[in-house]
A and B are shown apart, each in its own frame.
Chain A
Amino acid sequence: MSAILDHLPEFWEGLIVTLQLTAASFLGAAVVGLVITAMRVSPVGVLRGIGTAYVETFQNLPLLVLLVLAVFGLPEIGIKADLLVTAIVVIALYEAAYIAEALRSGVNAVSAGQGEAARALGLTFGQSLRHVILPQALRTVIQPLGNIFIALTMNTSLAAAIGVVDLTAAANRVNLMEAQPIPIFVGAGLAYALIAACAGFVTGRLERRLVMVR
């Protein structure tokens, strides 16, 4: 137990980095995912193709491969960025594919009459998406989005494998110094479980308030 208490600052810093990674990449993933979804349901064939190719590519590549490619490969072609920023961008792009897929299943769940009604009122594609379809689609996918958030939190730990000192890396470092793996790793695991529990609590509340009973 003292192994954790003595190294509380290290754990704290690691936790902050994990939270930064999680929040920033989820925000980025949400924006990119939204754009990709809009492209995939648009009437423009090329944009649909780009969206589908994006989702297919990022869902079928391991995140660690993308991280390694970005961290060790991109400097070779003259693209250098801060390690943490690189990790955030890569995780955001990767998770965006999953968010796009979730949102699309939400769009598909909106009944066709809603889209028809929006068009009958003279709304354009963008307007009907923004004012009619997406608000309803979002409500049906709160739970899946919560699950993606939890998976994203777990995935941020992969940043430790490429040298970002997040919670996982901090636990590993402290363990190398203290050699008391059980309390240290259980402590780190509990911290992740706590983040996931908070996310679960929030999505549960959101769902109860926003979900529409059909």
Chain B
Amino acid sequence: MSNLLFDEPGPRARRRIRIATVVGAVAVLALLALAVRQFAANGQLDAARWQPYATWPMWRYLLDGLWSTVLAAVVSAALAMAAGLALALGRLSRRRWVRLPAAAYVEVVRTVPALLLVYVVLFALPRYGLDLPLFWKLVVPLAISNAAAFAEIFRAGILSVERGQSEAGLAVGLTHGQTMRMIVLPQAARRVLPSIVSQSVGLLKDTSLGFVVSYAELLYSGKVLATYNGLLIQTYIIVALVYLVVNASLSKLARTLEARQPRAHRPRRRLARA
């Protein structure tokens, strides 16, 4: 891939590359310098404004928030995956009355913002007597919206298993259900693992909607902390860094898992959901 657009550079190309390297590096450094200048000019670089984040109580509070984030993400991922598997099997069913509703769910939910679902759970359901605890007010909308995404991942995984596998299963006298359960699904599960992990990154990012629900996950904890100590930009930068570390590790895991799969077994590569 790296030689798709250029050959081994000659002397002139090497000079141009050197110039571009210097220009690029200078541009980045200038940007950083500008940022530091803005911080300094507004007194945001004072040690006193960063000191609190060198103390354990602040971090314990944020890590508590991170724990709530992880908890919400894991529970909604579990629910969304279970629902997603059911939807995927439904979409691949031979019966039309199963196939159509499953397809409709996936297509409709894909086009409804998660925040709108959160508002429905926050403001609409209580009116009809369904006032969920705070945790579920975040988890339920996330599970609903991510179920559709997981359904598509599972469907792609099931379809990526060669037809010969299920034909062989049927030929030795297994029923359709048995073939799916014992032959196709175990192979599909292994193949969709990388996509599942990268979708979970998306889900973990979605839990920041706890900010709206006022469920004390990482971002909301940051908001509470920032209101309390007035260190707005410092707190939100720290919160962003925590998200970055956690999600980047998960993304790395997804890439490692994908690299370990034989090329022929990879379902059509899914781009991470925006």
1/0 per residue, CB under 8 A from B, across A168-205: the answer is 10011001100101100100110011011100000000
Contact of B116 with A76 in the complex, beta carbons under 8 Å: no
Q: CB distance A61 to B247 under 8 Å?
A: yes
Whether A77 pairs with B211 at a CB distance below 8 angstroms is no
Interface centre among A57, A59, A108 (most CB of B within 10 A): A59
Task: Say whether B219 contacts A157, CB under 8 Å.
Answer: no
| Cβ of A169 to closest chain B Cβ, rounded Å | 9
CB distance from B14 to the nearest CB of A (A): 10
* Contact A59-B124, Cβ < 8 Å, known A74-B233, A150-B110, A168-B115: no
Interface residues of B in 83-140 (CB under 8 A from A): 108, 110-116, 119-120, 123-124, 127
Residue of B nearest to A162 (CB): B211
A35: Cβ under 8 A from any B Cβ: no
Report the Cα distance A65→B116, complex, angstroms: 18
Q: Which of B113, B116, B204 has the most CB of A within 10 A?
A: B113
* A43 and B6 contacting across the interface, CB-CB below 8 Å: yes
In the complex formed, the residue of A with least CB distance to B231 is A76
Question: Of the 9-residue stretches A5-13, A95-103, A206-214, which lies at the interface with chain B?
Answer: A95-103
Chain B residue at minimum C-beta to C-beta distance from A44 = B20
A47 touches B205 (CB 8 A): no
Given known A-B contacts A50-B24, A161-B211, A65 and B239 have beta carbons under 8 A apart: yes
Known: A41-B1, A47-B20, A69-B240. 15 other contacts (CB 8 A): A43-B13, A45-B21, A59-B272, A61-B244, A68-B211, A72-B233, A72-B236, A74-B233, A76-B44, A76-B232, A133-B4, A151-B273, A168-B115, A192-B112, A193-B112
Q: Within 8 Å of chain A (Cβ to Cβ): is B41?
A: yes
Cβ distance A153 to chain B, nearest Cβ, rounded Å: 8
B42 touches A78 (CB 8 A): yes
Interface of A, helix, strand, loop or mixed by DSSP: helix
| Residue numbers in B under 8 Å from A68 (CB-CB) | 211, 219, 223, 236
Q: Shortest distance in angstroms between B270's beta carbon and chain A's nearest beta carbon?
A: 9
What total of chain B residues lie within 8 Å of the partner, measured CB to CB? 61
0/1 per residue, B240-271, Cβ < 8 Å to A?
Answer: 10011001100100000000000000000101
| A192 & B111 in contact (Cβ 8 Å cutoff) | yes
Q: Are B21 and A188 in contact (CB under 8 A)?
A: no
Within 8 Å of chain B (Cβ to Cβ): is A119?
A: yes
A100-112 interface bits toward B, Cβ cutoff 8 Å, 1 = contact, 0 = none: 0110010110101
Residues from chain A with a CB closer than 8 A to the CB of B219 are 62, 64-65, 68
A–B complex contacts, Cβ < 8 Å, 5 sampled: A43-B9, A60-B201, A77-B42, A151-B274, A171-B116
Q: Are A66 and B240 in contact (CB under 8 A)?
A: yes
Q: Is A62 a contact partner of B119 (Cβ separation < 8 A)? A: no
B1–A73 CB distance below 8 A: no
Contact A50 B28, beta carbon cutoff 8 Å? yes
B141 to nearest A CB, angstroms? 12
Interface string of A21-60 (1 = CB under 8 A from B): 0000000000000000000011111110010000011011
Q: Once the chains bind, are A175 and B123 in contact (CB under 8 Å)? A: yes
The 10 closest A-B pairs by CB, nearest first: A181-B124, A157-B113, A60-B247, A196-B111, A151-B274, A73-B233, A62-B205, A62-B208, A98-B274, A43-B6
A63 to chain B: which residues have CB within 8 Å? 205
Give complex CA distance A61, B216 in Å.
18
Contact A101 B208 (CB under 8 A): no
